[in-house]
Amino acid sequence: MSGTLAGWLQILALVAALALSYRPLGDAIAHVLTTPRHLRVERLVYRLVGVNGDADQRWSAYLRGVLAFSAVSVLFLYGFLRLQNLLPLSLGRPPMPADQSFNTAASFVTNTNWQSYAGESTLGHLVQMAGLAVQNFVSAAVGISVVAALIRGFTRKETDRVGNFWVDLTRITLRILLPLAFVFAIVLVAGGVIQNLHGAESIPTIAGGHQSLTGGPVASQEVIKELGTNGGGFYNANSSHPFENPNAFTNWLEIYLLLAIAFALPRTFGRMAGDHRQGYAIVAVMALIWAASVAIVTVDELHSVSSRAGHAAGAMTEGKEQRFGVWASALFAASTTLTSTGAIDSAHDSYSPFGGGMTIFNMMLGEIAPGGTGSGLYGILVLAVIAVFVAGLMVGRTPEYLGKKLRGREMKFASLYILTTPTVVLAGAALAMARPGERAGMLNPGPHGFSEVLYAFTSAGNNNGSAFAGLSVDTTWYNTALGLAMLFGRFLPMVFILALAGSLAGQAPVPVTAGTLPTHRPLFVGLLTGVVLIVVGLTYFPALSLGPLAEGLQ
């Protein structure tokens, strides 16, 4: 079979798998978010926690729950990292320094999973398993909870209640994420991913040298790292490490897992809104952007022997694994940067100028195609609100989406949402570039060095977590600045989303008339895609032109 045909087949098989799980997974999540029935174990959890599982909350109480849970999580994880040397299974590793612990705690709680440390030389097994991997579950569940509140804002009438955060968090973790993680963790082990509690073992090699064979509960963390669009690797090399991703099948499965929930959530949206066509329109926009991005990265990596290193080597194989090759690596790179996952199976820093630039642009889109678990859907729903508003301006009507009027109050929250991340990203990158010490952290010269800094803040602000890893980011300044960028980039948008949800829920729906813009037709799909590209393109174009564009056009 030719490489091109095989490459196409792996993409088509992925699309088919995602299409097959769209309905059952989306419907299952909708059921979990709407059923009044609690499981016995959930009732036990609510009793232990001391909350009433049957009482819905106002948007402000829901938000206080999200923020309290996240604040407690950051402190807990910070303490865990600082004290790991006193705990069992620490493998004799010292505590993580204060600035790096802050960065790591913020990173895992915000679903970013940016890593300024190397797992295999820094962390013991307990903190990976009971600290970091727990946040892989719950930060993903928080994202889905917040989008559930927003959907209820659209679907409920004249109420001030948007759901119960504790119930959403518990149900998504226990009923959706945990069973899927368990099943696919076993599949990954069968494929070769390790799962043990050994420390590193020194062994003789075939040629008479020595090598340290590492151990760890890798599969159980790997699976939720992808499924929850987290992306923080057990090892420094992330999913390019053979113990995390041993062959092309596990690689394909990991790409599927990191896309599955985010691509199924529009179904959940359509089902809860009582109109599946609304879900299809949203997923169509996501799929269009994803397909275009996969195409651009793949073509660029295949044909970028025009870059000097590619020309010297004969193919873009620097930073890529032989078992995956260029096609599977490009597919992973586009998918991971479009989903806020940030896991990598190849080194993005060594990608061609436009291929690597595309991974930055993917993140700049705001992680919406399909985006992070939950955060992708609420991100694109805000853009849908903007698109409806723009269309309303063109014809001079009060815009409405799913029967809810988009008045000044709603548009203020949507605008604030749209402005937050670019502010964090561009201000952070500008600040770093203004400081000689931080500029010195670049590994590569010229525009590519600027791309490294731009990538870092884009990744942190959009909660992606992947890196142009040449940049030296384990400094007090970068740990602090990127930690803050992750926190602002995660929680300010959540404030606006939940405020928007509360504002929408209080409205009585307006009847559909001949003048209502249908939001399930191809016209709307095109409009929304256009809004996504224009809003992002205009915001980031100057920064992109200084980095990847300048590099590619040299």
Partner 1 sequence: MTSSLSPVVRNHLSALRILLVLTAITGFLYPLAVTGVAQGAFPYQANGSRITRHGTTMGSTLLGQNFTLPEDRRRNSGRAPGPDPAWFQPRPSAGGYDPLASGASNLGPDNPVLVRTIEARRAAVARFDGVDPRDVPADAVTASGSGLDPHISAAYAHEQVNRVARVRGLRPATVHALVTAHIQGRVLGFLGERRVNVVQLNAALANHR
Of 360, 410, 416, 369, the C-alpha closest to 389 is: 410
Quote the least distance from Cβ 175 to partner 1, whole Å.
Answer: 12
Q: How far is the C-alpha of 277 from the C-alpha of 285, rounded, in Å?
A: 13
Q: How far is the C-alpha of 297 from the C-alpha of 316, rounded, in Å?
A: 12
Q: How far is the C-alpha of 414 from the C-alpha of 503, rounded, in Å?
A: 11
What tokens does 115 get? 């890593």
Question: Is 333 a binder of partner 1 (CB under 8 A)?
Answer: no
Residue written as tokens 């809004």? Answer: 531
| Residue from 60, 159, 195, 415 binding partner 1 (CB under 8 A) | 195
User: Which 334-373 residues touch partner 1, going by CB under 8 A?
Assistant: 344-347, 349-353, 356
User: Which 451-480 residues touch partner 1, going by CB under 8 A?
Assistant: 451, 468-470
Near partner 1 by CB under 8 A, which window of 1-9, 257-265, 379-387, 525-533?
Answer: 1-9
Q: How far is the C-alpha of 118 from the C-alpha of 317, rounded, in Å?
A: 23
Q: Where are the alpha helices (DSSP H) in 156-214?
A: 165-171, 178-191
- CB closer to partner 1 out of 61 and 286: 61
- CB closer to partner 1 out of 72 and 393: 72
Of 347, 377, 358, the C-alpha closest to 469 is: 347
Classify burial at 317, counting beta carbons within 10 Å of its beta carbon; exposed 0-12, middle 13-18, buried 19 or more: middle
- CB closer to partner 1 out of 276 and 323: 323
Which residues make Cβ contacts (< 8 Å) with residue 225, sequence separation at least 6?
Answer: 113, 133, 136, 231, 232, 233, 234, 341, 343
Give the total of residues touching partner 1 (CB under 8 A): 124
Near partner 1 by CB under 8 A, which window of 147-155, 177-185, 424-432, 492-500?
Answer: 177-185
Quote the least distance from Cβ 9 to partner 1, whole Å.
Answer: 4
Quote the least distance from Cβ 50 to partner 1, whole Å.
Answer: 6
What tokens does 138 get? 């719950």
Classify burial at 93, counting beta carbons within 10 Å of its beta carbon; exposed 0-12, middle 13-18, buried 19 or more: middle
H helix or E strand, kind and range, residue 405: strand 404-405
Beta bridge partners of 203: 211
Question: Is 254 a binder of partner 1 (CB under 8 A)?
Answer: no
Q: How far is the C-alpha of 466 from the C-alpha of 381, rounded, in Å?
A: 24
| Residue from 89, 98, 291, 309 binding partner 1 (CB under 8 A) | 309
- CB closer to partner 1 out of 130 and 523: 130
| Residue from 130, 393, 510, 523 binding partner 1 (CB under 8 A) | 130
Q: How far is the C-alpha of 521 from the C-alpha of 524, rounded, in Å?
A: 5
| Residue from 203, 440, 523, 534 binding partner 1 (CB under 8 A) | 203
- Which amino acid, 379? G
Of 152, 174, 156, the C-alpha closest to 164 is: 152
Residue written as tokens 């078992």? Answer: 323
Question: Is 73 a binder of partner 1 (CB under 8 A)?
Answer: yes
User: Which 534-553 residues touch partner 1, going by CB under 8 A?
Assistant: 551
Q: How far is the C-alpha of 373 from the C-alpha of 257, rounded, in Å?
A: 11
| Residue from 18, 149, 193, 257 binding partner 1 (CB under 8 A) | 193
Question: Is 226 a binder of partner 1 (CB under 8 A)?
Answer: no
- CB closer to partner 1 out of 82 and 323: 323
Q: How far is the C-alpha of 485 from the C-alpha of 425, rounded, in Å?
A: 7
Q: How far is the C-alpha of 409 from the C-alpha of 55, rounded, in Å?
A: 27
The DSSP-derived string for 198-222 is ---EEEE-TTS-EEEE----HHHHH
| Residue from 197, 393, 440, 523 binding partner 1 (CB under 8 A) | 197
Near partner 1 by CB under 8 A, which window of 81-89, 308-316, 417-425, 485-493?
Answer: 308-316
Quote the least distance from Cβ 371 to partner 1, whole Å.
Answer: 23
User: Which 4-23 residues touch partner 1, going by CB under 8 A?
Assistant: 5-6, 9-10, 13
| Residue from 16, 39, 68, 523 binding partner 1 (CB under 8 A) | 68
| Residue from 138, 146, 259, 363 binding partner 1 (CB under 8 A) | 138
Near partner 1 by CB under 8 A, which window of 125-133, 142-150, 358-366, 481-489?
Answer: 125-133
| Residue from 161, 175, 241, 404 binding partner 1 (CB under 8 A) | 241
| Residue from 232, 310, 371, 399 binding partner 1 (CB under 8 A) | 310
Question: Is 169 a binder of partner 1 (CB under 8 A)?
Answer: yes
Quote the least distance from Cβ 403 to partner 1, whole Å.
Answer: 33
H helix or E strand, kind and range, residue 474: none
Question: Is 49 a binder of partner 1 (CB under 8 A)?
Answer: yes
Of 381, 474, 467, 484, the C-alpha closest to 427 is: 484
Using only C-alpha atoms, the chain has a radius of gyration, in whole angstroms, of: 23
Near partner 1 by CB under 8 A, which window of 15-23, 238-246, 392-400, 506-514?
Answer: 238-246
Q: How far is the C-alpha of 185 from the C-alpha of 268, rounded, in Å?
A: 25
Q: How far is CA 50 from the centre of its chain?
A: 31
Q: How far is the C-alpha of 505 from the C-alpha of 156, rounded, in Å?
A: 5
User: Which 410-439 residues touch partner 1, going by CB under 8 A?
Assistant: none
Quote the least distance from Cβ 315 to partner 1, whole Å.
Answer: 4
Near partner 1 by CB under 8 A, which window of 236-244, 458-466, 494-502, 515-523?
Answer: 236-244
| Residue from 129, 424, 473, 487 binding partner 1 (CB under 8 A) | 129
Q: How far is the C-alpha of 549 from the C-alpha of 554, rounded, in Å?
A: 9
| Residue from 121, 398, 476, 545 binding partner 1 (CB under 8 A) | 121
Quote the least distance from Cβ 104 to partner 1, whole Å.
Answer: 16
- CB closer to partner 1 out of 165 and 496: 165
Near partner 1 by CB under 8 A, which window of 134-142, 279-287, 418-426, 483-491?
Answer: 134-142
| Residue from 34, 159, 236, 423 binding partner 1 (CB under 8 A) | 236
